[in-house]
Amino acid sequence: MTTTATTKTIGLVGYGMSTRLSPATPSPPATASSSATRAARPPSPPPLPAAELGPLATAASVADAIRYSDIVSLSVPFKAAFDDATFPADAFAGKIVIETLNYYPDRDGRFPALDAREATSSELLQRRFHSARIVKAFSNISFMHLESLARPRGHSERSALPIAGDDGEAKASAAAFVEDVGFDAVDVGTLADSWRSEPNTPVFVYPYFARAGSLDGKVVTASDIAALVSKATKDSPVGGVLPKSSK
């Protein structure tokens, strides 16, 4: 998918992954069109250090990062998104929300609707933030490969990421942001289709590893993404399993 980005303010709300998504920082080597970035972490981790933010970025409270941004990128544990004290649903009204979340039952507890495949995790988030425009992106790649594999537009070794959403305009804006960060965006359908990039699917995380036992990255093109997504089935268990140190 090719889109033209417009100048926007991006609110990066979350933990480690969120700070890797700023096109305003020197890395990844992408051409950014975002005018500013507001970055915030929920209360429990330490505040974002200034060194992690680019020249166009400022640290902010969670409330301000949401309130003053055109697009909000949400990167928190899945269960944390349902904490109304930190993330009141009304605060996201009308916002484009790029959610990078994945469901890990051992960490997040059980969500019966997900376990029964009555909804995808993205659909549950859309119900939670009912007035927001949810787009799923960045959820199938590790933070280290998000940094190491980012390339400028037109680069021969540019990788791609799947995105999914119900709102066409929101999805186009999210795709533009993905491309600013350094990846091609591949539209894989609606929020109901987003299970195709969830844990235990062919496109999830592992294709970006060069080989087993190595952290080196591997280019995954847009055609690769399309092929991997088409192979997804619902035979695998719902939800992923995190290493004990990550729970």
Report the percent of the chain where pLDDT is more than 70. 79
> 129 or 10, which is more confident?
129
d(CA 240, CA 210): 21
What are the tens digits of pLDDT across the range 53-101?
Answer: 667 777 788 898 899 899 999 999 999 999 999 999 999 999 999 999 9
Cβ atoms of 44 and 64 within 8 Å: the answer is no
d(CA 32, CA 159): 17
What are the tens digits of pLDDT across the range 14-52?
Answer: 865 555 565 433 333 333 344 455 555 565 555 555 556
The two structure tokens encoding residue 151: 């390339």
What are the tens digits of pLDDT across the range 206-220?
Answer: 999 999 878 899 999
d(CA 230, CA 67): 37
Give the pLDDT score at 132. 98
Cβ atoms of 150 and 30 within 8 Å: the answer is yes
Angle in degrees, CA 177, 122, 107, rounded to 5:
105
- What pTM value is reported for the model? 0.87
Give the pLDDT score at 3. 31
Task: For residues 192-211, give the mean pLDDT.
Answer: 96
What are the tens digits of pLDDT across the range 124-178?
Answer: 999 999 999 999 999 999 999 999 999 999 999 999 999 999 999 999 999 999 9
Work out whether strand 57-59 and strand 96-99 pair parallel, antiparallel, or are unpaired: unpaired
